[in-house]
Amino acid sequence: MTDRVPTGIPGLDEALSGGFPRGRTLLLSGTCGTGKTTFGIQYLYNGAIKHNEPGVLITLEQNREEMKKDMLSLGMDLKKLEDDNKLIIIDTSLSRVGIRDFINTPTSAPTGSFSLLPGEFNMDNIVALAIQSAEKIDAKRIVIDSLPALDYLIKDAHDIRRTLITMAYELKNKNLTTLLLTEGHDEETISTHGVEEYIADGVIILKANEALDTRTIKIRKMRITKHTLKPITFEFGPNGIQIKQGKGI
């Protein structure tokens, strides 16, 4: 029987035979405002709180402190997870703008959440630090938010593809269940770089229909998992994303 990792989204595990297959790389795609970051944080937060599975968050776009405030409004206290050694956040978002006064340099294996200096940004380095962080707190889950930021940080398209393939291999080799967040250019495009959906073991697509005022999750691909291809309706509640029961499951 395949070991499963609960998704952290109430109602979704039933559609995935119990959750994500453990040790695999999953791709979460959606256009702006569909709830990708909330989904990813819920995966980490509920994993730590409900299943005693610490996690590592690599944020390539949003500032760490802003993210904490946003998630606290949904009842997810990321600072408490950090204090309890249940979460490490690797913040590379400031490296793009070079605000050196507000960040510090990890000179050895990380002891908690940290930010990187501009000259330290290298995705191979980030992955190595993520693995060190995971080993330190015995993390089982990793979220990378989000892959389109690589366009600003890695100029060569070939290097981006190499980075994605290497990253997926390294994290799977450590049996980490990884959620990669990405964004398509439009409703029909799954990913920014066109390779993410092929290296991932599973693909989940979030969509928002403004005309019908509905949001849906579609499980496009999930290896070793029987699942529906029908859209599953979800909503934002006081604790984040939750599936509308009876809507697509």
- What is the tens place of the pLDDT at every residue in 32-82? 899 999 999 999 999 999 999 999 999 998 888 999 999 999 999 999 999
Contacts of 55 (CB under 8 A, 6+ apart): 43, 44, 47, 48, 86, 87, 139, 140, 141, 142, 143
pLDDT at 95: 45
Name the pTM for this structure: 0.89
148, pLDDT greater than 70? yes
Q: Is the peptide bond before 146 cis (omega within 30 degrees of 0)?
A: yes
Confidence of residue 123 (pLDDT cuts 50, 70, 90): confident
Handedness of CA 231, 194, 34, 172 (dihedral sign): positive
Structural contact between residues 241 and 7, judged by C-beta atoms closer than 8 angstroms = no
132, pLDDT greater than 60? yes
3, pLDDT greater than 90? yes
Q: For the chain, give every domain's residue range.
A: 24-210
- Topology at the third CATH level for domain 24-210: Rossmann fold (3.40.50)
